[in-house]
Amino acid sequence: MLLELIGRDRVRGASVLDIGGGIGVITGELLKAGAGHAVLVDAAPAYLEVARNELRAAIVLDRVEIVDGDFVRRADAIEPADIVTLDRVVCCYPDAESLVSLSADRARSLLGLVLPRDSRLVRFVLWAGNVRFWLRRRPYRAYGHSNQVIDGLVRDLGLRPIGERRTFVWRVVLYGRGPDLASA
């Protein structure tokens, strides 16, 4: 859904910053759609190894810079990009305000977010999942940050929503900067 909202016509020649890019699916698809260069940032070395292999197999690895680490901690060293994406990353990060603000600040044209919907049922599902992680002594926790707060942070940095899709759990939203952006 995020790729559909971005659309192929917005990708041609664009630079991409894929934050929490995992195994490189979004990065690879945007490069295959015509993006010129991408930076993939992720804090999980195992994911980055898979991403390297997948991007090599897709014959786009030569156009990707892979950054190992926490984006918030490394943000000062990461350049802005035309398209910035965070696909199911906001829910994995405790400090959504820093993550979203720094991401939005680096988006020259588009910011795409996939985050949990703001509803009681989704918050309950996240809570139940966290109880399960706690019982299994796993350090991971999921977060259901306020969608209204996220929208306000992005708006304060000069982006406005130009397209949105929803599933039962997820909210997929594309924000744009500039007067020439048409709704998706």
Taking only the tens place, the pLDDT of each residue in 74-112 is 999 999 999 999 999 999 999 999 999 999 999 999 999
Give the pLDDT band of residue 173 (cuts 50, 70, 90): very high
Give the pLDDT band of residue 184 (cuts 50, 70, 90): very low
- Kindly report the pTM of this predicted structure: 0.92
Please report the DSSP string for 28-93 in residue order. Answer: HHHHHTT-SEEEEEES-HHHHHHHHHHHHHTT-GGGEEEEES-HHHHGGGS--EEEEEEES-GGG-
Question: What is the pLDDT, as a whole number, of residue 8?
Answer: 86
2.60.40.10, 3.30.390.50, 3.40.50.1000, 3.40.50.150: CATH of 2-176: 3.40.50.150
Give the pLDDT band of residue 177 (cuts 50, 70, 90): very high
